[in-house]
Structure 1
Amino acid sequence: KVASPVGTLIGQLLFGWLADIVGRKRMYGVELMIIIIATFAQAVSGHANAISIIAVLVMWRFLMGVGVGGDYPLSAVISSEFASTRTRGRLMTAVFSAQGWGQFTAAVIGAIVVRAFKSEIESQTSANPIAVDTCWRLIIGLGAVPGVIALYYRLTIPETPRFTMDIERNIHQAAQDVDTFLTTGTFVVDPDAVVQRAQAPKATRRDFFNYFGKWENGKVLLGTSYSWFALDIAFYGLGLNNSVILNAIGFGNPSKTLTQGFAVYENLINICIGNMILSAAGLIPGYYATMLFIDWWGRKPIQLMGFIMLTIIFSIMGFAYNILVNHNKGAFIFLYCMANFFQNFGPNTTTFIIPGEAFPTRYRSTGHGISAATGKLGAIIAQVGFSRLVGNGNFIKHILEIFALFMLTGVFSTLLLPETK
């Protein structure tokens, strides 16, 4: 579990920095190729006398994480720099919402694959787990297919006009790239932009520290980074407790009366269906609520509202945990889905958008990478620190109370941010 987020953290920092040095376009294809290769390699990994399959999978999952990490700053910055200010929030939200659809689709594919091997799984024994081995390899391997399709478009996309103008100082090429997008009727040109951007200072280490060393600039990086950190503590920590929710709604552990093969099948199919329900009930609707309000209401109010609502929801879930779980499971499930909803109609989406807009072109990708990597550090802490505690059912309520505290701190870090719409 930890190998992938550690790789993601490194990828966010590395590709965020590289995209400001060599360009968004060049790195956008490289990180996807890393994801494709590492994903396919996991599906065909095997055991050998010199090394176990677990060690091989850890290596490839770490490498996949590096590629996934690069996708955060690059997807945000490219969509930000190609979009009109009128529709930039909706476009970036649409890009980020693909994450929720990916989670839902993964659960659907998992259910289809497990269902296809139902008879083989039910008839297998611990000495012959071939069917389950085939299932997980298919599910992981199929994950590379969308990447292969997207690779063509990433390799053929032009460099963003803002990078071409501000960093490469190639005004003529930037103008040609702008002309390409003017035909869509969605790209608005500032007539003074050429002069303003041509005079922008070049990115250097000294300029970086001088720029972010000023409080008015440094507080923005602090706000985006800590807000993402606080969110991911709860976002990934909550994911560790999915089994509790699945048990509550009847999609948890299989009946103890089932034989081994039947129990394995029921457990796998329940996990897939349960994750489909949780994604559809909270995660996906939250993205589209954000899409409706992001360009009208603004990024900062949505993030502030989301952190406040999550503070309230996690406080109720934590302090009333025993009452809810033992006497009103329906209310607990509802609150859990509302937590998922306000994560996406709130800081989970806005922490992705704001760093892609708040920083100057020369440090936009680096700033987004630093913010995302700080968030991923929170995810690692949640996975490592809370994983041992989740097994103790009595401590789950205290974990939810800890989440509420971090959401409250996110309210204050949001106050450091400007409105970027």
Structure 2
Amino acid sequence: MDLSAPLTPGGNAAFHNFHNDFAHIIHPNQRRRLALAEIDKVPFGWYHVRAVAVAGAGFFADSYDFISINLAIQLIGIAFWQDDGGTIPPHLQSAIRSATSGGAFIGMIAFGWLADVLGRKRIYGIELIILIFATLGQSLSSPSPVVTMSGLLIFGRVIMGLGLGGDYPMSAVITAEFAPTRWRGRMMAAVFSLQGFGQLAAALVALVTTVAFRKSFSAAKSFPECTGACQIAADRSWRIIIGFGMLPAIFALYYRLTIPETPRFTFDVALDAEKANADIRIFIDAEIALEQIDAFQRDSTNRLGLESQIQSQVRGVDNLIQPRGSWADFFKYFKNYRNGSVLFATMSSWFLLDFAFYGLALNNSVELEVLGFASGSDVFRVLLATSLGNLILVCAGGLPGYLLSALFMDTLGRRFIQIGGFASLTVIFLIIGFGYSSFDKVSLIALYILAQLFFNFGPNATTFLYPAELFPTRYRSTCHGLSAACGKLGAVIIQVFSEPLLMKGVKPGCQGSACSPFLGHMMQIFAACMFCGTRQTLEVLSGEMALGTNRSSDTRGSRERFMARLSWASHPRGRRVGEQHEKGIMSINDSRGREARSKANTQDSSASDSSTGRILRRSSQPRSDYERRGKMEDADISLQDMDYMGHLFSQ
């Protein structure tokens, strides 16, 4: 009988199938160690760049949409709302802008849960298909006697939000589970930084489109006068701007559909029969088990009987070490105060962040008007100023913040970046809030740019990373989806309430801060959210310390000792481990393990010499006996402790 693991499908230039490289290794825990060590050993190169680009395509589309819709709404108003002066009514603008966040809220929870139930591979790519068709549908929409344009746009953006929302937990978890330990923070931050490039692309596409239709737009002095050729140009422009957002998703779709299952999900959740073999490692000594199997290899009948007997006994204790994911186990796990407090902290900190972040992003057109980037003598100059304003703010504040996060995430650490970001934003919003009426445009622009910088070189990046690093494999995607969904809930709430508040007291022909008298008070509210976010950050950090001390107070040292044990397994990427490596399995156990075996042999001396009897008797021993022997650290090396938490402690 072949004891090697079955091969798993998938694998491409962006995501290598590490599981299949070691499928011939008989021992499942050893197979897991070798595969994860191989991931950590691969030097940074184009493989990682491609993985970041493929995983970040959804974030590119996400931020592209949120920036482009601000200009597109102006153009849609010109094309379809000429009876209202070429402007969409405020309540419809609010509904159109918040529809994507509403759909994303559902998509984050649904896709996060499905990825833990069905696996990452079976789900990854579906969210891009939804995104592509929803974007295409929006760009081709036109009203009819029975369906209004606002209804079509809201419906299309809710569907698009499902795809965008599903991309958050999927890309975060897949990147985390494929990334080397030493590059994980930077790779995940780099994936998230593609939001900055999406914002840049949106500003550039809007700028190019505006310039391309300059002649038509210049013929009208104001939006109500933009009719005929000007109105046709506006209709074409918004369709181009919205439709361009699906191109990155199309390019990334092949790589996502052909991705292999992540090694950590394969080993930790979807093992089935292999999990039974893995449980043997907990209840019996690995060396003795392998010796017995090797001995019976010379007698196929006896070997088959022994294996069948072991399998049947171990299935009774299957999943003792890592329970199979279920709603009952989910509530049991998070009923624990330490685990539940960490989930609450990641959810609430993301809610507080997005309440302020999207409060600014979704009302971008109002802020540009206050900053003086939305005025001109004709329609062309108004649209040009809006496009240039977006471009300047993205290049000066947003994009540098994303890049700084990607560069320093693994050197400064999540703790410093998140606490520093929340604290800096608290100060900035307090300054803007209480000095709003006394600042000139240059000062407001500088403060706004600083706010964008510390959003992205701060909690906007770290709230994305933390949920992918703090939870066990079987619930990692679900918890990331729940945390991200709370952020989108904050975005919906602020959008619903901010639109009427920002328009309160606005007079026609206003300039500067008079275009939004309540903006200063909204900044004060944001400052309170940022201060509360700082407190939630401390809860996250206390939660990770609690989780990290479950088994070892020196996680980093444990990880180094673990890697030292695997030094004999060094080999080029993709090459099967040879006979010499399989022989090396016997040398992994340290002196503590040999001491434990000696005690076990003494305890078993009164029993039968039969190999089968010894194995079955040991499998019934309590788990605590083997914990006292120190076998748990060797057999059940926790991904959360070794790969994730140890990495965080080093910051």
Residue by residue over 1:77-126, the C-alpha shift from the partner in whole angstroms, topping out at 9 and shown as x without a partner, is 00000011111000000000001110111110111111111112233654
Work out whether 1:138 is the aligned partner of 2:261: no
Q: Identity, % of aligned pairs?
A: 49
Q: Which residue of 2 aligns with 1:183?
A: none
**Structure 1: distance between partners of 2:130 and 2:404:** 33
Question: In the alignment, residue 397 of structure 1 is paired with which amino acid?
Answer: G
Match for residue 160 of structure 1 among 262, 266, 281: 262
**Structure 1: distance between partners of 2:372 and 2:346:** 38
Please tell me whether the aligned partners of residues 164 and 171 of structure 1 are also in contact (alpha carbons under 8 angstroms): no
CA distance change for structure 1 residues 220 and 49 in 2, over 3 Å: closer, same or farther?
same
Q: Which residue of 2 aligns with 1:202?
A: 324
For CA contacts below 8 A with separation 6 or more, give which structure has more relative contact order: 1
Residue by residue over 1:152-181, the C-alpha shift from the partner in whole angstroms, topping out at 9 and shown as x without a partner, is 1111111111111111116989xxxxxxxx
**Structure 2: distance between partners of 1:45 and 1:342:** 38
Q: Which residue of 1 aligns with 2:206?
A: 110
**C-alpha displacement of 1:331:** 2.1
Q: Which residue of 2 aligns with 1:339?
A: 451
- Farther off after superposition, 299-308 or 399-408: 299-308
> How do residues 12-411 of structure 1 correspond to structure 2 at under 5 angstroms?
12-123=108-219, 125-128=225-228, 129-169=231-271, 199-243=321-365, 245-247=367-369, 249-255=371-377, 263-324=378-439, 328-392=440-504, 393-411=516-534
Question: In the alignment, residue 346 of structure 1 is paired with which amino acid?
Answer: G
Q: Which residue of 2 aligns with 1:177?
A: none
Instruction: Flag structure 2 segments of 5+ consecutive residues without an equivalent.
Output: 1-96, 276-318, 505-515, 545-644
Please tell me whether the aligned partners of residues 240 and 387 of structure 1 are also in contact (alpha carbons under 8 angstroms): no
Question: In the alignment, residue 50 of structure 1 is paired with which amino acid?
Answer: V
Please tell me whether the aligned partners of residues 245 and 333 of structure 1 are also in contact (alpha carbons under 8 angstroms): no
CA RMSD of aligned residues (A): 1.9
Residue by residue over 1:121-140, the C-alpha shift from the partner in whole angstroms, topping out at 9 and shown as x without a partner, is 23365442111000001111
**Structure 2: distance between partners of 1:116 and 1:198:** 65
CA distance change for structure 1 residues 319 and 171 in 2, over 3 Å: closer, same or farther?
farther
SS in 2 for 1:296: coil
CA distance change for structure 1 residues 199 and 114 in 2, over 3 Å: closer, same or farther?
same
Please tell me whether the aligned partners of residues 374 and 383 of structure 2 are also in contact (alpha carbons under 8 angstroms): no
Question: What is the count of residue pairs matched by the alignment?
Answer: 389
**C-alpha displacement of 1:300:** 2.1
- Farther off after superposition, 310-319 or 282-291: 282-291
Please tell me whether the aligned partners of residues 311 and 407 of structure 1 are also in contact (alpha carbons under 8 angstroms): yes
**Structure 1: distance between partners of 2:498 and 2:107:** 24
**Structure 1: distance between partners of 2:207 and 2:408:** 34
Question: In the alignment, residue 265 of structure 1 is paired with which amino acid?
Answer: F
SS in 2 for 1:68: helix
CA distance change for structure 1 residues 198 and 38 in 2, over 3 Å: closer, same or farther?
farther
- Farther off after superposition, 121-130 or 152-161: 121-130
**Structure 1: distance between partners of 2:143 and 2:365:** 29
- The runs of at least 4 consecutive aligned structure 1 residues that moved more than 2 Å come to 120-128, 170-173, 239-250, 418-421
SS in 1 for 2:409: helix
CA distance change for structure 1 residues 44 and 215 in 2, over 3 Å: closer, same or farther?
same
Name the TM-score, length of structure 1 as normaliser.
Answer: 0.89
Question: In the alignment, residue 158 of structure 1 is paired with which amino acid?
Answer: P
Question: In the alignment, residue 399 of structure 1 is paired with which amino acid?
Answer: M
Please tell me whether the aligned partners of residues 16 and 74 of structure 1 are also in contact (alpha carbons under 8 angstroms): yes
**C-alpha displacement of 1:290:** 1.5
SS in 1 for 2:103: helix
Name the TM-score, length of structure 2 as normaliser.
Answer: 0.58
**Structure 1: distance between partners of 2:249 and 2:260:** 19
**C-alpha displacement of 1:287:** 1.3
**C-alpha displacement of 1:53:** 2.0
**C-alpha displacement of 1:20:** 0.5
**C-alpha displacement of 1:198:** 9.5
Please tell me whether the aligned partners of residues 429 and 523 of structure 2 are also in contact (alpha carbons under 8 angstroms): yes
Question: In the alignment, residue 459 of structure 2 is paired with which amino acid?
Answer: P
Residue by residue over 1:14-38, the C-alpha shift from the partner in whole angstroms, topping out at 9 and shown as x without a partner, is 1010111111122111000000000
Match for residue 535 of structure 2 among 409, 412, 416: 412
Match for residue 4 of structure 1 among 100, 104, 127: 100
**Structure 1: distance between partners of 2:136 and 2:537:** 39
CA distance change for structure 1 residues 242 and 42 in 2, over 3 Å: closer, same or farther?
closer
**Structure 1: distance between partners of 2:367 and 2:489:** 25
Please tell me whether the aligned partners of residues 164 and 170 of structure 1 are also in contact (alpha carbons under 8 angstroms): no
Residue by residue over 1:283-336, the C-alpha shift from the partner in whole angstroms, topping out at 9 and shown as x without a partner, is 111112212221122212211111111111100111111111xxx332221111
SS in 2 for 1:86: helix
CA distance change for structure 1 residues 172 and 97 in 2, over 3 Å: closer, same or farther?
farther
**Structure 1: distance between partners of 2:171 and 2:530:** 26
SS in 1 for 2:125: helix
- Farther off after superposition, 70-79 or 19-28: 19-28
Q: Larger Rg: 1 or 2?
A: 2
CA distance change for structure 1 residues 45 and 395 in 2, over 3 Å: closer, same or farther?
same
**Structure 2: distance between partners of 1:230 and 1:379:** 9
Please tell me whether the aligned partners of residues 39 and 144 of structure 1 are also in contact (alpha carbons under 8 angstroms): yes
Instruction: Flag structure 1 segments of 5+ consecutive residues without an equivalent.
Output: 174-196, 256-262
Residue by residue over 1:240-273, the C-alpha shift from the partner in whole angstroms, topping out at 9 and shown as x without a partner, is 5534543455422223xxxxxxx22222221111
Question: In the alignment, residue 314 of structure 1 is paired with which amino acid?
Answer: F
**Structure 2: distance between partners of 1:272 and 1:252:** 9
CA distance change for structure 1 residues 109 and 171 in 2, over 3 Å: closer, same or farther?
farther
Question: In the alignment, residue 281 of structure 1 is paired with which amino acid?
Answer: A
Question: In the alignment, residue 406 of structure 1 is paired with which amino acid?
Answer: C
CA distance change for structure 1 residues 121 and 172 in 2, over 3 Å: closer, same or farther?
farther
Please tell me whether the aligned partners of residues 166 and 361 of structure 1 are also in contact (alpha carbons under 8 angstroms): yes
**Structure 2: distance between partners of 1:58 and 1:248:** 27
